[in-house]
Amino acid sequence: MRIAMVSTPFIPVPPPLYGGTELVVHYLVEGLLERGHDVTLFATGDSHSRARLCSLYPRAQWPPAAFIDLNHTSWAMAQVADGLFDLVHAHSAAALAVSRLMPEIPLIYTLHHTFEPELSAYYADFPEVAFVAISGDQCGRESGVRHCTVIHHGLDPSRYRSTTHPASYVCFVGRFAREKGVHTAIDAAARAGVPIRVAGEVHPRDREFGRAEVEPRLRLPHVTYLGCVGPDQKASLLRDARALLAPIEWDEPFGLILIEAMLSGCPVVAFRRGSVPELIEHGVTGLIADSVEEMAEWIRPGGAVDQLDRLGIRASAVTRFNYRRMAGEYERLYAARVKETAPGWPTTAA
């Protein structure tokens, strides 16, 4: 298939640090190329991909802005209209409106966000689009989409390593925002009497929360603050951690850091919100807590988290969250959607 993959203009593909959507796009493109497809990636010029790269902006445009997204996406869709593509896979909602100008090209759109009523109302105007949810929980909350396929994210297991002899610390990796629960993770570690290593940063919209709730906690004696870590440092951090803590306070649609931890053989101890119950096998790949007290109890030295099989955690994650599995599921969706649009199109996907 000839596939146009439209990423965002905000972060390169793959991202040097933070950027969940762009990381998934990178591995999806890799998986599709391995399966023999012809992929053109529309992303910023500082991206790196084995696919054909087309760019309007030479560098990532941060912070996000709606008009930059519209400019990038409409430019990409104009290039698609002039080219020969079997389908477009977009990761920006602006692509839906622009796709009206090229109704003959099937559009796949992946939902990367939590439920937003305004976006759901917008989605309802595009019944012909093939929507993809990144978790069953996200799909169940999305009221504006008539037909939606659930495809879990996948990463490259070879980028992660595991050990049966972890260090003494637990860790938190993510954006310093109330909904991510960094403050609760630090508190749980204090209750348990264990050290915690914290990686991430405060985004502009969360500055008040960062000043009031995060900065004082980062100075506590049981906390080691690492700043914003890159892929290699993150992989080492997860490999050696006794557990990743994810006391989220929102219905997170996926959570890439959870599968990165599990691919490292690191148990995840998380609150029962959003996609957590479908990503974590309680008592196998991690533990699902209902309170900070329960989380603290499980991460105490010799507690429940230390009884989990770290090699088994990695083995399960390699099967469930491999980018090749993700690419295969998207490939099947692409083939079905193209065949609906062009009945004479061959049934073989590649």
Residues 6+ apart with CB under 8 A from 343: none
- How far apart are the C-alpha atoms of 165 and 185, rounded to whole Å? 22
Task: Mean pLDDT check: name the lowest of 20-29, 143-152, 209-218, 252-261.
Answer: 143-152
Reported confidence tier of residue 207, pLDDT bands at 50, 70, 90 = very high
Percent helix, strand and coil across the chain, each to the nearest 5: 45, 15, 40
What does the mean pLDDT of the chain come to?
Answer: 95
Residue 350: predicted pLDDT: 45
pTM for this entry: 0.94
Residue 147: predicted pLDDT: 85
11: its two tokens: 């972060």
Q: Which amino acid is at 212?
A: A
Residue 116: predicted pLDDT: 93
Q: How far apart are the first and last CA of the chain?
A: 6
- How far apart are the C-alpha atoms of 63 and 173, rounded to whole Å? 21
Per-residue pLDDT of 51-84, as tens digits, reads 999 999 999 999 999 999 999 999 999 999 988 9
Residue 19: predicted pLDDT: 86
CA atoms within 13 A on the CB side of 304: 15
Q: What number is the average pLDDT over the span 252-266? A: 97
- How far apart are the C-alpha atoms of 25 and 341, rounded to whole Å? 24
Is the predicted pLDDT of residue 97 greater than 80, yes or no?
yes
More confident residue, 84 or 300: 300
Residue 166: predicted pLDDT: 98
Is the predicted pLDDT of residue 186 greater than 70, yes or no?
yes
- How far apart are the C-alpha atoms of 46 and 300, rounded to whole Å? 44
Total residues belonging to the chain: 350
Per-residue pLDDT of 223-241, as tens digits, reads 999 999 999 999 999 999 9
Reported confidence tier of residue 348, pLDDT bands at 50, 70, 90 = very low
Sheet containing strand 170-173, strands side by side: 223-227, 196-199, 170-173, 244-246, 268-271, 286-289
Classify the C-alpha dihedral 311-317-320-323 as positive or negative. Answer: negative
Per-residue pLDDT of 148-157, as tens digits, reads 999 999 999 9
Reported confidence tier of residue 209, pLDDT bands at 50, 70, 90 = very high
Four-CA torsion 71, 118, 203, 209, nearest 10 degrees = 160
172 DSSP 8-state letter: E
Do residues 108 and 333 touch, judged by C-beta distance below 8 A? Answer: yes
Reported confidence tier of residue 303, pLDDT bands at 50, 70, 90 = very high
Selection from 136, 333, 154, 174 nearest residue 253 by Cα? 136
Selection from 246, 198, 203 nearest residue 218 by Cα? 198
Name the region of 179 (left: φ>0; alpha: ψ -120 to 50; beta: rest). alpha
Residue 244, φ and ψ in degrees, nearest 5: -95, 130
191: its two tokens: 């209750």
Residue 344: predicted pLDDT: 59
Residue 17: predicted pLDDT: 83
- How far apart are the C-alpha atoms of 278 and 272, rounded to whole Å? 10
Reported confidence tier of residue 18, pLDDT bands at 50, 70, 90 = confident
- How far apart are the C-alpha atoms of 137 and 119, rounded to whole Å? 17
Reported confidence tier of residue 347, pLDDT bands at 50, 70, 90 = very low
Biggest CA–CA distance in the chain, Å, is 67
SS3 label, residue 78: helix
Strands (E), 12-136: 38-42, 52-54, 87-90, 107-110, 130-133
Which domains occur in the chain, in start order? 2-155+322-341 (3.40.50.2000), 158-320 (3.40.50.2000)
Is the predicted pLDDT of residue 245 greater than 90, yes or no?
yes
